[in-house]
Amino acid sequence: MSQRRKKNSSDGETKPRTSFVNKFFRSSKLRPTKAESRKKSNDLEAADFQPSDDTQRTENILDTAKPLTSEMELGSRMEKNEQFLQKLGRKAVNKCLDLNNCGLTTADVREVVALLPLLPDLEKLDISWNDLIGGSLHSVTQQMHLVSKLKILRLGSCRLTTDDVRALGEALEAIPELEELNLSWNSKVGGNLPLILQKFQEGSKIQTLELVDCNLTSEDGAFVGQLLPMMQNLEVLDLSINRNIGGSLNSIAQGLKSTSNLKVLKLHSCGLLQKSVRILDAAFRYLCELRKLDLSCNKELGGGFEDSSAQLAMLEHLEVLDLHQCSLTVDDVMSLTQVIPLLSSLQELDLSANKKMGGSSENLLSRLRFLPALKSLLINNCALQSETFTALAEASAHLPALEVFDLSWNKCIGGNLKLLLETLKFSESLQVLRLSSCSLVTEDVAVLASLIQTGHLAKLQKLILSYNDSICDTGWAIFCQNMWFLKELTELDISLRPSTSRDCGQWFRHLLCAVTTLPKITEIGMKRWILPATQEEELERFHQDHRCSIHFDLGEFQEADFPRLN
């Protein structure tokens, strides 16, 4: 194919052809006059691609420093670049080069560099999740001045080396329009953060800074605190999974006072302590625009909310609050009972994996009724007791916007699901209901089936009933006979616990019948349910008789995938 293209070019053929890369480079200032006269196009679609061989790939490695001296040279370079992009099988649009998770190699990086001179208007460059390019970033950063309009730079999980980090720091000065920088999952950023960000000037346009799991040191954290006053346009700050920055939280919190436009603050698993709540609380009064706060998986945080949560109530625009796995104490729950109901804009609340709140959260759960905008409520694995579950059931009747409800791993629900289902009758928006490992019994699924039959839960898309091994075959039969009312259902999980296995009963036939009437279902979890030979035959006939695309997940030893028949 390559030889044919060269021959056609040398023969002087002039048949019009709009190539993939020609479309991609519409905005380039380096186009020849003839190209400028062509019709502008923003949307592009890639054709079916074939990988290049090693020789062709080597030819694509160009000397990017060499100026474009002729239209012929430009056309040759664009054709080689086209082959490179086609090899990756990606779509491209003007001003955006998205090569994340493409398996790029060092040689591929050189080909990426070859693209940059043709993209002076590039605004987004994403080469994240290419962990073979570490050590070669300098070849990209040396050409950053060619894409000075860049606004988004994503380099997550690229195994950047210390040399890469240093080169990046020197290059950032050449892209003053930068608004988003993502260096997450690069451990060499830790201890070297000043090398990258030291040239940020006051009035920086940075709006998003993501440094997840970068092995940041306490000194890095202190540096972030000193840097924040220079980033007054900052809207998103994610320092999650950097367990050593808890000791420099004072500096970070002091810097946060200067980021009044901040909308998202993520400190998931950052080694925060009890005193950290008090330190952050002092900064909350300056974060009037905050929409999302994630303090989850800081297990030493427990006890910190007892006397230090007053300013949290001032976050009147807060939409997401994540406190899962924070070892909340009884006193924490009492304090939060006074605060959370005041967050009238709250849409997502995650209190999961705080087992000590099980017997002390009755008042808190009861007052959730004052959060009419709540869309997602996660209280799984909280060791709820009968009184707290009853309070939650009554409050849920006042949550008309609820879309996601997770109560998994709360054993008290078994035999008492009817309390919750009475209130769910008023929920017209519920899309996800998770009741995994809730000790449900046959009576519970019978009540659930009755509710479904009457037309409630019509918008349900995911229903998770796994690890409820006490439900007998009769219960599953009643449930499966009423499944067909759930027309929006995409996923159902009724798997057994890892330590058990059972033969499927006659209810499996009802399940297959129901599935034929569910147009959107794609996943049915049935791990550790054993299909006898007769039911395996039924499953095969189901595949043959119905046009469907459904994955029956039967676990390690049995698996059934059925491709859609067109």
In the predicted structure, residue 184 carries a pLDDT above the cut 60: yes
CA distances (Å), origin 482, targets 51, 429, 514, 518: 50, 20, 8, 11
More confidently predicted of 90 and 331: 331
β-strand 559-562 against 550-553: which pairing, if any? antiparallel
In the predicted structure, residue 9 carries a pLDDT above the cut 50: no
- Return the pLDDT at 85: 58
pTM reported for the whole predicted model: 0.83
User: DSSP letters along 369-422, please?
Assistant: GG-TT--EEE-TTS---HHHHHHHHHHHTT-TT--EEE-TT-GGGTTTHHHHHH
More confidently predicted of 166 and 78: 166
Length of the chain: 566
In the predicted structure, residue 459 carries a pLDDT above the cut 60: yes
Rounded distance, CA 222 to CA 361, Å? 37
Rounded distance, CA 388 to CA 379, Å? 11
Determine the distance from the C-alpha atom of residue 451 to the mean position of all C-alpha atoms in its chain, rounded to a whole number: 32
Q: Residues 460-502: pLDDT tens digits?
A: 999 999 999 999 999 999 999 999 999 999 999 999 999 999 9
| DSSP H or E stretch at residue 524 | strand 523-525
Q: Residues 308-353: pLDDT tens digits?
A: 778 899 999 999 999 999 999 999 999 999 999 999 999 999 999 9
Q: Give the highest mean pLDDT range of 19-23, 86-90, 337-341.
A: 337-341
Kindly indicate the confidence band of residue 38, based on its pLDDT and cuts at 50, 70 and 90.
Answer: very low
Are the CB atoms for 310 and 282 separated by under 8 Å? Answer: no
- Sign, CA torsion 78/81/87/89: negative
- Tell me phi and psi for residue 434, to 5 degrees: -115, 120
Cβ neighbors of 76 (< 8 A, separation 6 or more) are none
- Return the pLDDT at 545: 77
* C-alpha dihedral, 295 to 297 to 301 to 305, nearest 10°: 50
What 3-state class would DSSP assign to 317? coil
Read off the tokens for 479: 């449930």
Kindly indicate the confidence band of residue 547, based on its pLDDT and cuts at 50, 70 and 90.
Answer: low
* C-alpha dihedral, 77 to 81 to 82 to 87, nearest 10°: 150
In the predicted structure, residue 270 carries a pLDDT above the cut 70: yes
- Sign, CA torsion 362/364/369/375: negative
Based on C-alpha coordinates, what's the Rg of the chain?
A: 29
The closest alpha carbon to 82, from 111, 120, 124, belongs to 111
- Return the pLDDT at 531: 94
Determine the distance from the C-alpha atom of residue 549 to the mean position of all C-alpha atoms in its chain, rounded to a whole number: 25
Rounded distance, CA 92 to CA 21, Å? 9
* Mean pLDDT, range 292-297, rounded to an integer: 98
Are the CB atoms for 527 and 500 separated by under 8 Å? Answer: no
In the predicted structure, residue 46 carries a pLDDT above the cut 70: no
In the predicted structure, residue 415 carries a pLDDT above the cut 80: yes
Exposed / middle / buried, residue 279 (Cβ in 10 Å: 0-12, 13-18, 19+): buried
Are the CB atoms for 281 and 335 separated by under 8 Å? Answer: no
Average pLDDT, the chain: 84
Q: Residues 348-394: pLDDT tens digits?
A: 999 999 999 988 999 999 999 999 999 999 999 999 999 999 999 99
The closest alpha carbon to 297, from 273, 316, 276, 269, belongs to 269
Cβ neighbors of 70 (< 8 A, separation 6 or more) are none
* Mean pLDDT, range 100-122, rounded to an integer: 88
Greatest Cα pair distance in the chain: 85
Question: Which region among 25-34, 152-161, 519-528 has the lowest average model confidence (pLDDT)?
Answer: 25-34
The closest alpha carbon to 318, from 397, 239, 259, 374, belongs to 374
In the predicted structure, residue 12 carries a pLDDT above the cut 80: no
- Return the pLDDT at 87: 56
In the predicted structure, residue 141 carries a pLDDT above the cut 70: yes
Strand partners, 125: 97, 153
The closest alpha carbon to 353, from 301, 417, 423, belongs to 301
- Return the pLDDT at 111: 86
Question: Which region among 25-34, 173-182, 381-390, 489-498 has the lowest average model confidence (pLDDT)?
Answer: 25-34
